[in-house]
Amino acid sequence: MKYNFDNYLANIPQRSLKFDAIKATKSNDFEKYLSMGVADMSFKPPQEVLNVIKREIETGFLGYYGGIESYKKEVVNWLKTRHNWKAKPEWINTAHGLVAAIGTVLRAFTSETDGVIIFSPVYHSFRKIIKANNRVLIESEMIKKNERYYLDLNNLANKMKGSERILILCSPHNPSGRIWSKNELKDISYFCKNNKLILIIDEIHNDLVYPGKQHTIFPLIGDDFFEDYILMTSTTKTFNLAGGLMGNVIIPNDSLRAKFQKENLATGETPNRFGMILGEEAMKSGHHWLNELINYLKKNRDFFDKEINNLKTLKSMQLDSTYLAWVDFSKTGEAESTNFKKLTYELKIISNPGSSFGSGGYNFFRFNLATSNYLLKRATTRIKTIFK
């Protein structure tokens, strides 16, 4: 191992959402808290990435960004080497983060009375951005079978009113780490085609896949029968660069891309210098770091699952992907609000309560496992004291 992931960012930086989450408890005891909510890792990005940004700052030039061609070249290389898909540079647009990009897509392709479908429970910002843009939110609750989620397209078909325009798929899925099979992805594209829906596929977690599991980047299902998709990828989760706020909006279809670009122009955004430089370097030099990270995360996942699933009252879903554990607390017999208080105030663990992920999420809690094994042990030891 060349990289030492035990050498975590020990103190949670004050200018971070993770720190704000601790402050929100109104506790004075910051030191004791384990912040396992916000999906930032506690690891430093690859040293090459830190070196590049240090060098940039030392030049003293902090002006507008240029040179996007070399960034796009790295995106194309990355998609080819890590996902075996050949994208064209002209298909790639950049955005100030994927949530912002979803907002742009909603405004480009829908109007206020139109429906937008999500598969819940799912990443809470989908719901927020749909509502903030005054679009009609349609939640299609997934079915849980043998500790795995499945899409319920039959039920969704029965609910369709004809005013739905967009379906958002999180692939791999956050929370639950579920990887969708090629057949499931095909079913979704048939569904979209039959119902004239544009499909947004958010693949922000697609690099964080555990050994033995296979993620299929959406275009590899074959776009000969379905072209109306917008693929979103990023380096931010992969390399812990979320503060760089950037992401890729990849649209092979010409007319869809033109419509997106027109709306994107209206945001006034141009690429964020720091995010682009961080992302480009990470894709160039981060392969080995990422391979080792995945092995480290796997150990954390296995350890956490073993400890949690030994308890009669809790059940952790096995993650195919992502570092976001999804734990069912329903057998505790307590309400979600009670479990939340126990976790937050008695155990001093910050987590995300499942209700915030929409229908089907009640009394689950999401825990971020991307921290040092040492801190993870502290978390499970604390959890075991109350949830036996």
Ligand X SMILES: Cc1ncc(COP(=O)(O)O)c(C=O)c1O
Residues that bind ligand X (CB under 6 A): 39, 97-99, 123, 170, 174, 202, 204, 234, 236, 242, 247
Closest distance to ligand X from the beta carbon of 344 (Å): 20
For 351, phi and psi rounded to 5 degrees? -140, 180
**Which C-beta is closer to ligand X: that of 281 or that of 307?**
281
Start-to-end CA distance of the chain, whole Å, equals 35
Give the nearest distance from C-beta 138 to ligand X in angstroms: 18
Residue type, 38: V
What's the rounded Cα separation, in Å, for the pair 167 and 192? Answer: 8
Closest distance of CB 174 from ligand X, Å:
4
Residues linked to residue 1 through DSSP beta bridges, in sequence order: none
Q: Is the peptide bond before 172 cis (omega within 30 degrees of 0)?
A: yes
Based on CB atoms, which residue is closest to ligand X, 98 or 198?
Answer: 98
Nearer to ligand X, 257 or 366 (CB): 366
Give the number of other CB atoms < 10 A from CB of residue 381: 11
Residue 104 or 332 with smaller CB distance to ligand X: 104
Least spacing, CB of residue 162 vs ligand X, in Å: 28
Kindly report the three-state secondary structure assignment for every residue of the chain: CCCCCCCCCCCCCCCCHHHHHHHCCCCCCHHHCEECCCCCCCCCCCHHHHHHHHHHHHHCCCCCCCCHHHHHHHHHHHHHHHHCCCCCHHHEEEECCHHHHHHHHHHHHCCCCCEEEEEECCCHHHHHHHHHCCCEEEEEECEEECCEEECCHHHHHHHCCCCEEEEEEECCCCCCCCCCCHHHHHHHHHHHHHCCCEEEEECCCCCCECCCCCCCCHHHHCCCCCCCEEEEECCHHHHCCHHHCCEEEECCCHHHHHHHHHHHHHHCCCCCHHHHHHHHHHHHHCHHHHHHHHHHHHHHHHHHHHHHHCCCCCEECCCCECCEEEEECHHHCCCHHHHHHHHHHHCCEECEEHHHHCCCCCCEEEEECCCCHHHHHHHHHHHHHHCC
Residue 90 to residues 50, 71, 216, 232, 299: CA-CA distances in angstroms?
A: 29, 12, 22, 15, 39
Q: Least CB distance from residue 360 to ligand X, whole Å?
A: 16
Which residue has the CB atom at the shortest distance from ligand X?
Answer: 97
Q: Which is nearer to ligand X, 163 or 270 (CB)?
A: 270
Least Cβ distance, residue 101 to ligand X (angstroms): 8
In the complex, least distance from residue 122 CB atom to ligand X, rounded to whole angstroms: 8
Q: Considering beta carbons, is residue 115 or 244 the nearer one to ligand X?
A: 244
**Shortest distance, position 381 Cβ to ligand X, whole Å:** 27
| CB closer to ligand X out of 108 and 122 | 122
Closer Cβ to ligand X, 231 or 347, answer by number: 231
Q: How far is the CB of 202 from ligand X (least distance, A)?
A: 5
Give least dist CB 56 to ligand X, A: 21
